[in-house]
């Protein structure tokens, strides 16, 4: 199974995403016909390369903040199952209170945008109810939240939100740019209706919370024994983190658009966007910042294979051309 859903040999030059090196001692666990030399060209999700995933240690599904690091599949399946059953009629008393608190903050944001009087509410009043309602408080204590109005210095992108790792012994942080703030350093038009700006802010926060869920609870190889850690790191890159560098036409092109937005993120963000829209009674489906242009996650019956939510070679080529100031096809 290819990593892309559209490669037919017609693209030239072919973009080659740069993943970590596959740990050679696990080559015998790869599907038939897949080797350590060509593994980057094939899907290695649990549906296509089950023997690889069986080599990872079993761990706890994150049903509380005290759960241990686990692998990507139980995290994804746990929350898909939870969100399937979530609507306004199934909220617990704690979640009902969180929804009430959230509606109060949203009203304050509405007034702020309408009056153009920038007095931002305490950001945790916006973020913690989302955690309670949609993540079962799994993010409690895993990160700090902060407003920011400055463009991130480590990227050329104009960001609306950023999830940053605190390092060993540090604290992860989610930073959110309030759309339309007079000091915000981004180029998006501020002519949007108040409702659109509030919903954009909601989408930004939840987008970053999905990143935090996956980065905190899914094994990325950090702290593992060397042998298994290398496999964990490779699989994390393939199904969650993807890549930030592409070899294209003999050049190494840096593209941070895809980083962190792998197929597991795509599956979760699409489903959660629908659930948030329903629970919060939003006017239109919530866009959580999808990267894949044509995802087939809603196929029936659902497939165990995640390759349908991988970045296409055409998208990779388009972004490479954009970075190199070349015309698109």
> How confident is the model over 225-244, as pLDDT tens digits?
566 788 988 999 999 999 98
Nearest to 22 by CA among 2, 50, 52: 52
Task: For residue 263, tell me if it sits in a domain.
Answer: yes
Task: Kindly state whether residue 88 falls inside one of the protein's structural domains.
Answer: yes
pLDDT score at 166: 63
Q: What global pTM score does this model have?
A: 0.87
- Beta-bridge partners for 174: 145, 163
Residue 1 is assigned to a structural domain of this protein:
no
The confidence band for 184, taking pLDDT boundaries of 50, 70 and 90, is low
328 within a domain of the structure (yes/no) = no
User: Count of domains in the chain?
Assistant: 1
Instruction: Give yes or no for residue 195 having a pLDDT over 80.
Output: no
Q: What is the pLDDT of residue 189?
A: 47
- Measured CA to CA in angstroms, residue 188 lies from 152, 181, 185 at distances of 15, 11, 9
For residue 167, the enclosing domain spans 16-323
Please check whether residue 130 lies inside any domain of the structure. yes
Mean pLDDT (whole number) for 260-277: 91
Tell me whether residue 8 is in a domain: no
- Please tell me the predicted confidence (pLDDT) of residue 8: 44
26 vs 115: which has the higher pLDDT: 26
End-to-end CA distance of the chain: give it in Å, rounded. Answer: 25
CB 47 within 8 A of CB 307: no
Cross-sheet strand order for the sheet of 251-254 = 16-17, 245-248, 251-254
Q: Is there a domain that residue 78 lies in?
A: yes
Asked if the structure places residue 140 within a domain, the reply is yes
CA nearest to 55, candidates 216, 217, 219, 223:
219
The average pLDDT across 152-157 equals 44
The HSE-up count of residue 195 (CA atoms within 13 Å, CB side) is: 7
Residue 7 has a pLDDT of 43
């Amino acid at each position: 199974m290819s990593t892309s859903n559209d490669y037919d040999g017609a693209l030239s030059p072919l973009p080659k995403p740069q993943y970590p090196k596959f740990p050679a001692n696990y080559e015998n666990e790869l599907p038939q016909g897949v080797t350590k030399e060509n593994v980057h060209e094939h899907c290695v999700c649990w549906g296509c390369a089950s023997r690889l995933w069986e080599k990872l240690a079993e761990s706890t599904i994150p049903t509380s903040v005290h759960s241990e690091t686990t692998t990507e599949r139980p995290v994804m399946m746990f929350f898909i199952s939870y969100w399937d059953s979530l609507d306004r009629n199934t909220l617990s008393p704690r979640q009902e209170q969180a929804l009430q608190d959230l509606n109060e903050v949203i009203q304050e944001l509405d007034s702020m945008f309408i009056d153009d009087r920038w007095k931002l509410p305490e950001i945790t009043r916006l973020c913690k109810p989302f955690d309670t309602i949609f993540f079962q408080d799994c993010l409690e204590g895993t990160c700090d939240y902060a407003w920011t109005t400055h463009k991130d210095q480590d990227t050329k992108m104009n960001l609306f939100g950023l999830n940053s790792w605190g390092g060993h012994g540090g604290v992860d942080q989610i930073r959110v740019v309030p759309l339309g703030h007079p000091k915000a350093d981004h180029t998006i038009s501020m002519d949007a209706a108040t409702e659109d700006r509030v919903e954009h802010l909601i989408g930004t926060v939840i987008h970053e919370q999905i990143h935090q869920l996956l980065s905190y609870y899914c094994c990325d190889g950090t702290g593992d024994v060397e042998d298994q850690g290398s496999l964990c790191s490779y699989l994390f890159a393939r199904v969650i983190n993807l890549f930030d560098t592409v070899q294209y036409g003999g050049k190494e092109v840096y593209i941070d658009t895809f980083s962190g937005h792998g197929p597991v993120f795509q599956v979760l963000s699409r489903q959660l966007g629908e659930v948030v829209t329903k629970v919060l009674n939003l006017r239109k489906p919530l866009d959580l910042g999808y990267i894949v242009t044509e995802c087939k996650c809603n196929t029936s019956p659902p497939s165990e294979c995640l390759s349908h939510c991988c970045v296409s070679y055409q998208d990779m080529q388009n972004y490479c051309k954009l970075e190199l100031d070349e015309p698109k096809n």
